Structure 1
């Protein structure tokens, strides 16, 4: 009798992040930097994006697969915000960005509910855990703000007020 050994599954981490609605949005006159000052009230909703970060062999880099409604409308290359989140975290922590991100869409695509931002927030948390970088929530929030105005909200959820450019 011959024994067959099954390969151990690659480590993975799954994280869910909520979409959001804007309960209120106030926009001021354009500032000298070209941005409008905002006061925005965000509310997390019970629609979620789910991102599973799975380790891949060294040198493979980042890859993305997307499933769910309208998944064909979501980019699976470097233009994807979750991809950029993984690369940013890797760059800031000195980790090689070798990861496969499996995204399951639960927030409508292009519906203004921050589905892409939720993907990025979930990717930051999942990759942080997978790579054991040990960043705290404040450091992840700083990285999230570098990715976009809605990404920090998706890290925290609940209800929040965004002011300025909407990132604080």
Structure 2
């Protein structure tokens, strides 16, 4: 039996099932995860083999159909693996990893104004404590050492909404 003759003598239900299997597997490439589309494609492929076995009495045709389905599944799997390893599937709109919240959500821009300002520690800072800066009490973090109550500090940076301070001098200085 020739290759072309194999397809021309196929029952219409086998052709529909093979086409559905191919379409479902292509959709599975776009929609990641081993979900409904991939399982539906595999089921349609198996159903096509079963229908071919029912409608044809040739054992060769059934084995050829099994081989054909396995080749298509292997090609689709290889294509999926290649695209995923290259990062193409991570960029589809269905796989966006971003949230609806803006990137700077939860960041207090007013804290940036504190950089360079001086203040005094109101509760021991080892490394986290309280400091009064411009008459307002803030929770601060010391980068280096323990800073005691009454010591002068300066705000050096703001990191993830945490005020980082540096020791300037003691209470009596």
Q: Please classify the TM superposition score into its range, dividing by the shorter chain length.
A: under 0.3
Flag the structure with higher helix content.
2
Flag the structure with higher strand content.
1
TM-score, normalisation: structure 1: 0.24
RCO comparison, higher one (Cα < 8 Å, 6+): 1
- Which has the greater radius of gyration? 2
